[in-house]
Amino acid sequence: MLNVLAQTGAGEMLEGLKAIGAGLGYGLAAIGPGIGIGTVVGNAISSMARQPESAGMVRTTMFLGIAFTEALALIGFVVFILLLP
Amino acid sequence: MNVLALEFPPVNHLFDWPSIAFEGTPFALNKVGLTYLFAMVATMAIFSLAGARRGRLVPAGVQHVAESGINFVEESVVMQTIGPDGKKFMPFLTTMFFFILFSNITEVIPGWQFPANSRMAMPITLALLVWVIYNFQGVKHQGAFGYLKNSLFPPGVPVFLYIIVTPIELVSTFVVRPFSLAIRLWANMVAGHLLLVTFAVLSAALWDSFAPAAALPFVMLILMTGFEILVSFLQAFIFTILTAVYIGGSMHPEH
């Protein structure tokens, strides 16, 4: 393992680190929005179950909340695309 | 090493298309441009065909598509966000909804399979158009001073918090909004296209080396195609509803 590492040049090492950074970056960026979207949808479902007549309004607001939360994950995805070697 | 699908095409190859006509002129046309032409023609065709014929009491065919689209935008976008006086934005919002839907849905049309909105040009153009419209509506309905005051100093906030709130509102209302609107549509389409390409490349590579193993990625490809139909519809809807929310926010400030 160490022999292999020693044989690779600095350039390849940099490429590999870039790839690891890109992958980790997207993974980290997805954690927060994942929890956030879960909270938004979960609360929307429980309020729809409590008051089915307001389901239409709740659904519209839920999509808005998802859209705003999801933006963070998407920015992480854009950074991932930009960092790809 | 075909099994590992290491021959995944570079990302640029999936989104860059050579021009096929009028090369070298400003009117050069490639697959992206063709898709937008299709989306434009399809949107215009639906509404002009539905309008040209005498409306039937029980709508069918193209009239049904046009009427249910208008009804959908009116009930779940305009009435929910702007209110009854937002009906003058119905033509704009409906056209935009159908245009984005048609340029997204090419993602799953067999043989074409390219979402035109995975290139940044059109999403950012639409988002800047929306930016101009909601700022114009804000100035028109509240006056330039009132609009700035309501958007930079939201009422109901303790005075000392304005030190934090005002810069955040300045950046988020006038800078981040159009970009987040454009990036949301663009990145969703890029992600969807990459997802479909990944499973397609994987099934092709496995088919070459060990055919039965190709079944799993192929099933995933079919499932993801269904999911992408939902996503392209949802992104058109979200773009339209956020536009309506921004316009509504400029027309009716919080008191």
> What are the DSSP calls for A27-41, one per residue?
HHHHHHHHHHHHHHH
Of the candidates B252, B245, B37, the residue with the CA atom closest to the CA atom of residue B130? B245
pLDDT of residue B184: 92
**Where does residue A55 rank: exposed (0-12), middle (13-18), buried (19+ CB within 10 A)?**
middle
**Residue B225: pLDDT over 50:** yes
| B242 neighbourhood in chain A, CB within 8 Å | 64, 67
Task: List the beta bridge partners of residue B21.
Answer: B29
| B241 neighbourhood in chain A, CB within 8 Å | 60, 63-64, 67
Task: Annotate B173-235 with DSSP letters as a single string.
Answer: IIIIHHHHHHHHHHHHHHHHHHHHHHHHHHHHHHHHH-GGGGHHHHHHHHHHHHHHHHHHHHH
d(CA B180, CA A64): 13
**Residue B3: pLDDT over 50:** no
Nearest to B187 among A56, A64, A77 (CB): A77
Put simply, the answer to whether B11 touches A84 (Cβ < 8 Å) is yes
Q: Give residue-wise pLDDT tens across range B17-61.
A: 888 888 878 888 889 999 999 999 999 999 998 888 776 777 778
Mean of the pLDDT values across residues B56-85?
Answer: 87
User: Structure pTM?
Assistant: 0.87
pLDDT of residue B5: 46
Domain spans of chain B? 2-251
A23-A26-A30 Cα angle (round to 5): 140
d(CA B255, CA B246): 16
CATH 3.40.50.150 at A11-83, yes or no: no
**Residue B255: pLDDT over 60:** no
pLDDT of residue A8: 61
Mean of the pLDDT values across residues B193-210?
Answer: 88
d(CA B235, CA B241): 10
pLDDT of residue B23: 80
Q: Residue B155: which pLDDT band, with cuts at 50, 70 and 90?
A: confident
Mean of the pLDDT values across residues B196-202?
Answer: 89
Q: Residue B7: which pLDDT band, with cuts at 50, 70 and 90?
A: low
Q: Give residue-wise pLDDT tens across range B79-93.
A: 888 888 889 999 999
Pick the residue from chain A with its C-alpha nearest to B245.
Answer: A64
| A63 neighbourhood in chain B, CB within 8 Å | 234, 237-238, 241
Pick the residue from chain A with its C-alpha nearest to B118.
Answer: A78
Q: Residue A3: which pLDDT band, with cuts at 50, 70 and 90?
A: low
**Residue A5: pLDDT over 50:** yes
The Cβ-side half-sphere exposure at B225, using a 13 Å CA radius, reads 14
Task: Tell me which residues of chain B have a C-beta less than 8 Å from any C-beta of chain A.
Answer: 11, 76, 80-81, 180, 183-184, 187-188, 190-191, 234, 237-238, 241-242, 245
The larger pLDDT score, comparing residue B27 to residue A3, is at: B27
Nearest to B183 among A56, A63, A75 (CB): A75
pLDDT of residue B61: 82
Instruction: Tell me the percentage of chain B whose pLDDT exceeds 70.
Output: 96
pLDDT of residue A7: 63
| B248 neighbourhood in chain A, CB within 8 Å | none
Partner B contacted by A78 (CB < 8 A)? yes
Mean of the pLDDT values across residues B210-229?
Answer: 91
**Residue B1: pLDDT over 90:** no
Q: Classify the complex by whether its ipTM is higher than 0.90, answering yes or no.
A: no
The separation between CA A6 and the C-alpha centre of its own chain, rounded to angstroms, equals 34
Q: Give residue-wise pLDDT tens across range A10-33.
A: 777 888 888 888 889 889 999 999
Q: Residue B100: which pLDDT band, with cuts at 50, 70 and 90?
A: very high
Query: What is the three-class DSSP state of B219?
Result: helix
State chain B's mean pLDDT as an integer.
88
Put simply, the answer to whether A64 touches B76 (Cβ < 8 Å) is no
**Residue B108: pLDDT over 70:** yes
